[in-house]
Structure 1
Amino acid sequence: MSVDRVKAFESLIQASTTAPLLLMPDFVLPFMLYVDSSEDVLGDALHQVQIINDKPVEGPICFIYRQIKATDTRYGVVMPHLGLRKAKLLSGRMCF
């Protein structure tokens, strides 16, 4: 392996083991839902502002994504977002 590849791998390990890590949800505080879609993928990120070390910090609670299926192409631009939220958030499926 080249030095650049080793550095890239170490950087990937560092990024995946440090902030932003997933926060535990606090159901007293409000949630923020970020929604995005492209031609191939739908994705949502559920965030919340929590107090960490006496500072308000916005962090992710969960990430949800899925690849667009052929039947999803029948909807308009807004509809895939609604389908993803209905399928994964409202059905009680676990976030990851």
Structure 2
Amino acid sequence: MMNTIFPEELSEGWLIIYIDDIIVFSETWDSHLTILERVLKKIVPVNMKISLKKCHFAYSELKALRHVSGLSLGMDKNKVVEVLLKPMPQTKKEIQSFLGFAAYYRQHIKDFAIIAKSLYKLCDQKTLYEMTEERVKAYEELKKSLTKAPFLLMPD
């Protein structure tokens, strides 16, 4: 729904939408005020609600959606440490949790689906949970890829 409300803004590259969160960014205070006005003018007619306690205004950098966004977008350093310290999953629930986390960053991981394929098979109820050598290698490769995920520059 949000994509249908803000198609022009999304195509102009200064707005990011994730489910019901909106992030806008700009290079100057004046342009930021103009952008906020445009967004608010679109929100009011469709009766969207804004939670002021979730709002952050005029930040040069903002941690949102497990990313750090300012001039770049990438994994929060605390999450990198968390991944490095993560032990080998021992249950289906633990591997599902890890894969959910990893899938969130899939756009930063080359060949994510290929690497994760054997791990996703473990999530099948009919599959016996067994961390084979192939699966251990896939898990370690995903962990390594997650900690090396590149930072992407914000669009101009």
- With normalisation by structure 1, the TM-score equals 0.33
Larger radius of gyration: 2
Structure with greater strand share of residues: 1
- With normalisation by structure 2, the TM-score equals 0.24
